[in-house]
């Protein structure tokens, strides 16, 4: 049933929210007609979004079909997908919430419910909640915000910073933002001594400059203290710990990161002791596995609002007295956490992931005007129709997605290679069957500041070793030794992976062109997003030219990856 603007505003006025205790009530509350229902609680409302990856406009974004936990994590939230996810949270297949939270029936439900996200629609939600909870609301952004689109790449992140400022984000921490380089980061966000273009507080306790030796000097402020709802909230920033490993070191020379668990504890103690705050929140870009372990080891955190792994937590995962929350990605959700903070502690809470169904939520006029202005110089170029897809194209999932297959095939053809590598990034929009693939779609999967492709000969043993290394990063039993992301996408190769085996023994039955891979044979390989400086054509040009040539994309069903759990 469609919601009229008058109905929508009535819902805003009601401004409720179903609590997390009753899962069936939660399912009902997430229907399109009740997007904003939230029974307000307490004196503090934290709004959290993360990993929007520079998507100013609403998008289609299919959630993972495979999301494997290892050891005790197996089969536990957030490592649930599809039917298991629906059962866990009491959601109905075919509903708006099933569309928002799972991959099930995605193409059909996308036609029914439309795109999700978009900063103009998020702005409407934020403004209404702020009006309802005047003086009690904080908006926090967990990073991966300024990267992931053509316009963010071409403006060095300025387009998204303008949108973030317009939205009124009050506190932020980073990850992909660092791929613009540390000097650009300081222009955008300032440092410990000065402010940048960002109007809010930019915090990251685990980033230090070691130019003059260890332990180094803080690059950004470690935390901020905000008075809201009559209490003092301390917020600690946690940037992505593995930035110098996951991205070229040239972007952050002489900068260290890391989890810095002991420092988190010392900052919690400082905030509660010296500064007498009433509540402490960690704004994190660790990834959910790291957040869960950190919550079990650091005392005094009331909540961890996390990102990086794009996971979904319709209910907070409680570790001791700490609520661990991840808020999805691509602007699909605005998370709301209401806290009753009294006597220096959280007495009660209510939480909801609000699905941003753009067909149901009016666009905010001011944000829509800003977005139109930002995109105007690029609209014609971005709208170029390269091909039509007859298949559902997506990336998200532990192993090869269908848009990955397009990227891999494009590189194999361009470089006349036998094997192709493509990173297991979790960002990239989805394209429905029958939909045109535009140049903008290509950039949503490839918009890096280090996009160049490469080709060279590799021994079979080297190829396997690279795959084993990525698998260990993804499925290592210790969350602190994972870097997030998904398995490297492989073109020209089929293989079996057993995630229960130890490092170096997970990959087997490797085949190239249907024939067993010879560890002592040389194969021509290609890839992109190299840690080293390479001079092949940028991947977005390779993929765009490939699509212009094929005109139509139709992928065979099935996967070249066999998974054992």
pLDDT of residue 31: 52
Our CA dihedral for 116, 121, 122, 125, rounded to 10 degrees, sits at -120
**Ramachandran region, residue 536 (left: φ > 0; alpha: ψ -120 to 50; beta: rest):** beta
Q: Cα separation of 216 and 252, whole Å?
A: 14
Residue partners of 72: CB distance under 8 A and separation at least 6? none
Q: Cα separation of 531 and 450, whole Å?
A: 8
Q: Which pair of structure tokens corresponds to residue 408? A: 């891999």
Q: Cα separation of 450 and 248, whole Å?
A: 8
pLDDT of residue 33: 55
Residue range 435-448, pLDDT digits in tens:
999 999 999 999 99
Percent above pLDDT 90 for the chain: 91
Q: What is the 3-state secondary structure of 105-143? A: CHHHHHHHHCCECCHHHHHHHHHHHHHHCCCCEEEEECC
Enumerate domains of the chain plus CATH numbers. 5-59+115-372 (3.60.21.10), 383-564 (3.90.780.10)
Helices (H), 343-502: 365-375, 379-382, 402-415, 439-446, 460-475
State whether residue 454 is helix, strand or coil.
strand
The burial class, CB within 10 Å (0-12 / 13-18 / 19+), for 18 is buried
pLDDT of residue 429: 97
pLDDT of residue 214: 86
Nearest residue to 285 via CA among 146, 89, 445: 146
**Which of the residues in the chain have pLDDT under 50?**
1-30
Signed CA dihedral, 418, 423, 425, 429: sign only: negative
Q: Cα separation of 390 and 112, whole Å?
A: 19
pLDDT of residue 32: 57
pLDDT of residue 21: 39
Residue partners of 262: CB distance under 8 A and separation at least 6? none
Q: Look up residue 548 and give its DSSP letter.
A: H
Tokens 């070229």 belong to which residue?
A: 248
Nearest residue to 130 via CA among 356, 353, 334, 303: 334
pLDDT of residue 16: 39
Q: Model's pTM, two decimal places?
A: 0.93
Per-state percent for the chain, helix, strand, coil, to nearest 5: 35, 25, 40
Residue range 274-314, pLDDT digits in tens:
999 999 999 999 999 999 999 999 999 999 999 999 999 99
Tokens 């992140």 belong to which residue?
A: 157
């Amino acid at each position: 049933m469609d919601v009229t603007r008058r109905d929508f505003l009535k819902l805003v006025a009601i401004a409720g929210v179903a609590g997390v205790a009753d899962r069936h009530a939660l399912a009902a509350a997430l229907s399109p007609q009740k997007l904003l229902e939230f029974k307000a609680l307490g004196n503090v409302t934290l709004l959290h979004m993360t990993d929007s990856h520079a998507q100013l406009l609403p998008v289609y974004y299919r959630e993972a079909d495979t999301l494997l936990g290892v050891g005790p994590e197996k089969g536990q939230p957030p490592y649930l997908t599809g039917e298991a996810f629906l059962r866990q949270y009491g959601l109905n297949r075919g509903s708006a919430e099933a569309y928002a939270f799972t991959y099930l029936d995605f193409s059909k439900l996308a036609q029914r419910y439309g795109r999700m996200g978009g900063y103009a629609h998020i702005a409407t939600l934020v403004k209404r909640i702020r009006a309802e909870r005047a003086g009690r609301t904080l908006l926090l952004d967990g990073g991966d915000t300024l990267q992931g689109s053509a316009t963010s790449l071409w403006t060095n992140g300025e387009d998204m910073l303008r949108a973030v400022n317009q939205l009124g984000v009050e506190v932020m921490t980073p990850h992909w933002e660092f791929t613009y380089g540390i000097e650009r980061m300081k222009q955008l966000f300032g440092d410990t001594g000065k402010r940048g273009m960002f109007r809010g507080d930019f915090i990251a306790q685990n980033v230090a400059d070691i130019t003059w030796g260890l332990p180094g000097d803080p690059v950004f402020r470690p935390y901020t203290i905000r008075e809201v709802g009559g209490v003092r909230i301390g917020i600690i920033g946690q940037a992505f710990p593995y930035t110098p490993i996951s991205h070229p070191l040239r972007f952050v020379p002489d900068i260290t990161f890391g989890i810095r668990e002991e420092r988190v504890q010392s900052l919690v103690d400082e905030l509660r002791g010296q500064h007498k705050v009433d509540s402490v929140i960690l704004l994190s870009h660790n990834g959910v596995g790291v957040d869960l372990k950190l919550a079990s080891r650091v005392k005094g955190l009331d909540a961890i609002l996390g990102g990086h792994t794009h996971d979904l937590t319709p209910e907070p995962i409680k570790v001791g007295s700490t609520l661990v929350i991840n808020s999805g990605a691509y602007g699909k959700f605005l998370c709301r956490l209401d806290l009753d903070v009294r006597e220096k502690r959280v007495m009660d809470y209510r939480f909801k992931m609000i699905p941003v169904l753009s067909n149901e939520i009016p666009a905010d006029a001011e944000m829509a005007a800003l977005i139109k202005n930002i995109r105007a110089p690029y609209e014609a170029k971005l709208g170029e129709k390269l091909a039509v897809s007859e298949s559902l194209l997506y990336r998200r999932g532990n192993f090869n997605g269908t848009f990955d297959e397009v990227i891999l095939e494009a590189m194999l053809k361009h470089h006349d290679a036998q094997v192709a590598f493509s990173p297991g990034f979790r960002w990239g929009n989805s394209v429905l069957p029958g939909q045109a693939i535009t140049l903008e779609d290509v950039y949503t999967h490839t918009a890096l500041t280090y996009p160049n492709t490469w080709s060279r000969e590799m021994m079979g043993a080297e190829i396997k070793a690279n795959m084993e290394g990525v698998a260990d990063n993804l499925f290592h039993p210790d969350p602190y030794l994972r870097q997030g992301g998904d398995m490297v996408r492989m073109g020209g190769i089929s293989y079996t992976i057993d995630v229960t085996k130890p490092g170096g023994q997970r990959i087997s039955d490797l085949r190239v062109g249907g024939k067993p891979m010879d560890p002592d044979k040389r194969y021509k390989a290609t890839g992109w997003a190299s840690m080293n400086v390479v001079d092949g054509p940028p991947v977005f040009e390779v993929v765009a030219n490939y699509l212009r040539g094929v005109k139509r994309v139709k992928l065979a069903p099935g996967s070249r990856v066999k998974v054992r759990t």
